[in-house]
Structure 1
């Protein structure tokens, strides 16, 4: 690879500097309160929008067109797969957890709360779970996308295409994944963004998962030319893991060490998916021909 002039990195450095400056405000608010739910969750929403706002500011400073962030829809098949892939890897991971008894299916107390919240009465837990899965799987994705969009305008709208110009697929996936994961660490280490495991363990599992997922996000972003694949991937991931599979899993003692983004199973499954999309890297267009 040819040596890249130092000024080629200025857009990335500018973007990351603005992202850090904006994020610091919400890091402080969340860490000071100790919980992501502080401010009725609006501090967390604000944090998730910092990369997107930083990308818009960076584009303005650089005199670039905002349309270059990848707003076009692209081929619908990529959007459909973007929705399904998190469901597939989450289902595989949690099925392993349930089969081996590392967590139980299902948490009866949680399903009881769902029954009361839906006002269904005594209709059977199976129907309640199915209704919850379908309703949240459809309408919850739309709500989840509103926060995911803020991050993805920055990470996959700006950062990934910018890195891809000089670094190629593998390095772009690794670098953007590491940055994406590290950006979460202040609230993981100093607030309650954790499922209850020691910080070092949660951080290790989380970083492996995020970097693995970065290969999937980068592949779809470059292949489709669309920012929306990343938004849907992110929204689907957050929804199925944080709102469906994790709450439905019963704690059998050491369950936090296996479930969610901070347990060991999802990162292992994530590595398998990362290897698969890394093997498909030759299908991607070179940087100058990106959509």
Structure 2
């Protein structure tokens, strides 16, 4: 086996996916260490480290493109067609609203958190509004204005996951395998903060990790389908941003925590992952609409430049 190691290493260094993953790991490790070293970090630490970790895949993509003499502008930056962008925004709102309606009506969590709602109303200067009117207006405000902040973080991840990784994997694998591999990598990338940090909902680590992993892998099928079908990774950005916004910044905080709420709510409870799986199954049934090979080529606009990649191999030998 040892005599084959140099050849294997050369093949790995020749592989853009391997290089991308190595740099994602290196850059992310810095943020993981900083985050875990600040267990009492507040809003400022959360913002700095949150933005930092979510832009590591984008930074790794840029480095990988430089190494292989590619242009990051050749990724699928197109905003068209807009019908897929609209659907990408609305789908997470739909399944998250459904999930929390289930949680509230079953009594797994209460509606609504009066302390949270009154606090936000005070911050906005809207104390005079009736609570239910305020909740509706706050949802609209988050959906119209808050989405831009959520896009700013989701973009950093999606440049890497769906902008680079999915097209590269799609050159060799079909929709299902590409979605699964991307989902597993995407989920594992979160594990250090899930296991050793405070990125959970208060349930045992094994439970939160299981629910979160199911949710992320299911979401990967949805995001990959939209990326390949639309020819734009902006659909994945909007899916990701909408999911994070409505679940993390609206539905979870307005829910009253009861004894068992953590076991059902958020990405670390059972309901959101279950509904995400249902949506993923729906898009799995539409997989034949995807022309994997040609679509992957179209969304990357990246041809394998043998000359430049051979030069890189010589450099690492």
The normalised TM-score by structure 1 is 0.95
User: Are the equivalent residues in 1 in contact too, given 2:150–2:242 (CA < 8 A)?
Assistant: yes
Pairing 1:18–2:23 present: yes
The 5-angstrom pairing of residues 234-273 of structure 1 reads 234-273=240-279
Give the whole-Å Cα distance in 1 for the aligned partners of 2:186 and 2:285. Answer: 22
Give the whole-Å Cα distance in 2 for the aligned partners of 1:244 and 1:66. Answer: 34
Pairing 1:181–2:187 present: yes
The 5-angstrom pairing of residues 94-133 of structure 1 reads 94-133=100-139
> How many residues matched?
286
Give the whole-Å Cα distance in 2 for the aligned partners of 1:158 and 1:70. Answer: 9
Residue by residue over 1:30-73, the C-alpha shift from the partner in whole angstroms, topping out at 9 and shown as x without a partner, is 01112674635201211110000100110111111223321111
Give the whole-Å Cα distance in 1 for the aligned partners of 2:243 and 2:82. Answer: 18
Pairing 1:282–2:288 present: yes
Residue by residue over 1:175-200, the C-alpha shift from the partner in whole angstroms, topping out at 9 and shown as x without a partner, is 00010010001011111111111111
Give the whole-Å Cα distance in 2 for the aligned partners of 1:172 and 1:254. Answer: 35
Query: Which of 22, 30, 39 is equivalent to 1:34?
Result: 39
How far residue 130 of structure 1 moved from its aligned partner, in angstroms, is 1.1
Give the whole-Å Cα distance in 1 for the aligned partners of 2:40 and 2:116. Answer: 21
Give the whole-Å Cα distance in 2 for the aligned partners of 1:257 and 1:36. Answer: 25
Change (3 A) 1:36 1:75: farther
How far residue 271 of structure 1 moved from its aligned partner, in angstroms, is 0.9
Off by >6 Å, runs of 4+ in structure 1: none
Pairing 1:70–2:76 present: yes
Larger radius of gyration: 2
User: Are the equivalent residues in 1 in contact too, given 2:175–2:292 (CA < 8 A)?
Assistant: no
User: Are the equivalent residues in 1 in contact too, given 2:57–2:156 (CA < 8 A)?
Assistant: yes
User: Are the equivalent residues in 1 in contact too, given 2:92–2:242 (CA < 8 A)?
Assistant: yes
Paired residue secondary structure (1:167): coil
- What's 1:3 paired with? none
Give the whole-Å Cα distance in 1 for the aligned partners of 2:270 and 2:159. Answer: 29
Change (3 A) 1:108 1:289: closer
Q: What are the ranges of 5 or more consecutive residues in structure 2 without an aligned counterpart? A: 1-10, 299-317
Query: Which of 88, 96, 110 is equivalent to 1:90?
Result: 96
User: Are the equivalent residues in 1 in contact too, given 2:221–2:280 (CA < 8 A)?
Assistant: yes
How far residue 11 of structure 1 moved from its aligned partner, in angstroms, is 0.9
Residue by residue over 1:102-152, the C-alpha shift from the partner in whole angstroms, topping out at 9 and shown as x without a partner, is 001111111111221121233210111011101011110011100111000
Superposed CA RMSD in Å reads: 1.5
The 5-angstrom pairing of residues 50-69 of structure 1 reads 50-69=56-75
Pairing 1:162–2:171 present: no
Change (3 A) 1:88 1:36: farther
Give the whole-Å Cα distance in 2 for the aligned partners of 1:182 and 1:125. Answer: 40
